[in-house]
Amino acid sequence: MDHFLYRNGILHAEDVPLPEIISQVGSPVYVYSTATLLRHFLLFDEALSWGPHLVCYAMKAASNQAILKTLAKAGAGMDVVSGGEYARAKAAGVPGDRIVFSGVGKTRAEIRTALEGGIRQFNIESEPEMEVISEVAVTLGVTAPVTIRVNPDVDAKTHAKIATGKSENKFGIPIARAREVYARAAELPGLKVIGIDVHIGSQLTDLEPFRLAYRKVAELTHALRVDGHTIERLDLGGGLGIPYTRSNEAPPLPTDYGQMIREELGDLGCEIEIEPGRLIAGNAGILVSQVIYLKHGEGRDFLILDAAMNDLIRPAMYDAHHDIVPVIEPVPGGEQRTYDIVGPVCESGDTFAKGRTMPQVNPSELVAFRSAGAYGAVMSSEYNTRALVPEVLVNGDQFAVIRRRPSFEEIINRDTLPEWL
């Protein structure tokens, strides 16, 4: 459920008509709904309320500080994967003891920053990383709380580029070697092993792969406890998928997910952490764009928008589907057209949809890409020297620009010329 609905014939973000935002901010622009963000966070929080837990928002999905602060004020922790994300989370006021640090390539500098600034735990991804975290912690005279990410070799049944839990993926240590690796961790100074971490992929639309992975985590918890380790926290990663089309069968809800976790892991007496990104931010954001031209091609019509692959790369990168709807509500039974919906960037990959049938729209009219809140603005770039797409946050009948569109001057002035030119 989201808060982007037609009212009086116009698509609104909560109580704000989208054309009002466009008239002030221009197009294209990402628009987020506070109510949807909070609703999704609270659904997870509620789904795990049967025991001690922390929902750590995977901020890679949408990392604007206004979004982070909205969620943090509601009680969310953060899952960060870089020094930059750590700094952003801190800047948004998230305390270190609510930040978990994931990712396969944490550098010494990033580890040091997190240890100095406070960290809930590092999710260790490899043995070399484990040695480095130990070394940095010893140098600083502190102890690093850690979990070790295990790779359960489970097929997440999602797009290959976002599946992470198979043995061929670069993530985690093979679960078969976990006891050996935990034994080494226990020997290392500067580390306090507190639990297990697992994340098998993103946009999962079935609970079964999660269940298989979590069952393996339960078995491992028993085995590690027998070996004498303290396992008091289980970080179960993110990955629950969202409906990208209205017609599709809906993926399981956070409530079902929370119930399944309880069934598989509820009797272990562990604190549960999860790291959802997409389900919190995905349907809480849309990308609004204006039609520039309608071009009649050979046997097809191109709808050329002012948004492009640099603003929303998911269709080009993962063949992802986003519903694209007119901002002015189509009349029931009105004209339908079939378009190739494209952006102005100079490559054919700059295609949002091929042969998409939708209500007729005309040049200068606005359209909205639904479900664009996660992995949208964060993956945008300035390719073709197109200004980085701005972001707006709506809250009831108010809205605020939370990242403004840079001017061409600002963009160009970021380059510096060597003295010989």
User: Which residues participate in catalysis according to the annotation?
Assistant: 346
Q: Cα separation of 303 and 192, whole Å?
A: 56
H or E, element range at 33: strand 29-33
Q: Looking at beta carbons only, is 28 or 239 nearer to ligand LLP?
A: 239
375 is in an annotated binding site: yes
Residue 233 annotated as binding site:
no
For the packed helices 208-226 and 178-187, what is the interaxial angle rounded to 10 degrees?
A: 50
- 10 Å CB burial of residue 298 (0-12, 13-18, 19+) is exposed
Residues that bind ligand LLP (CB under 6 A): 58, 61, 79, 102, 162, 199, 202-203, 237-239, 275-279, 314, 318, 374-375
CB of 322 to ligand LLP, least distance (A): 11
Q: Rg (Cα) of the chain, in Å, rounded?
A: 23
Q: How far is the CB of 239 from ligand LLP (least distance, A)?
A: 4
Q: Which is nearer to ligand LLP, 321 or 411 (CB)?
A: 321
Shortest Å, Cβ 314 to ligand LLP: 5
The least CB distance from residue 316 to ligand LLP, in Å, is 11
Q: Which helix (H) or strand (E) holds 22?
A: helix 18-25
187 labeled binding residue: no
Minimum CB separation of residue 413 from ligand LLP in Å reads: 30
Residues, the chain: 421
Task: Name which of 314 and 386 has its Cβ closer to ligand LLP.
Answer: 314
290 to 18, 220, 326, 327, 376: CA distances (angstroms): 12, 52, 10, 10, 17
> Does 347 appear as a known binding residue?
yes
Give dist(CA 83, CA 79) in Å, integer. Answer: 12
Give the pairing of strands 144-151 and 173-174. parallel
Q: Is 6 annotated as contributing to ligand binding?
A: no
Name the nearest CA neighbour of 58 among 78, 72, 37. Answer: 78
Distance from chain centroid for Cα 328: 29
User: Any idea what DSSP says for residue 101?
Assistant: E
Alpha carbon distance 266, 51 (integer Å): 8
Residue 355 annotated as binding site = no
Establish whether 376 is an annotated binding residue: no
| Identity of the residue, 25 or 316, whose beta carbon is nearer to ligand LLP in the bound complex | 316
Q: Between 27 and 102, whose beta carbon lies closer to ligand LLP?
A: 102
CB of 25 or CB of 242, closer to ligand LLP: 242
- Return d(Cα 73, Cα 296) in angstroms, integer: 50
Considering the complex, what minimum distance in angstroms separates the CB of residue 352 from ligand LLP?
14
Q: Residues near 161 by Cβ (< 8 Å), separated by ≥ 6?
A: 317, 318
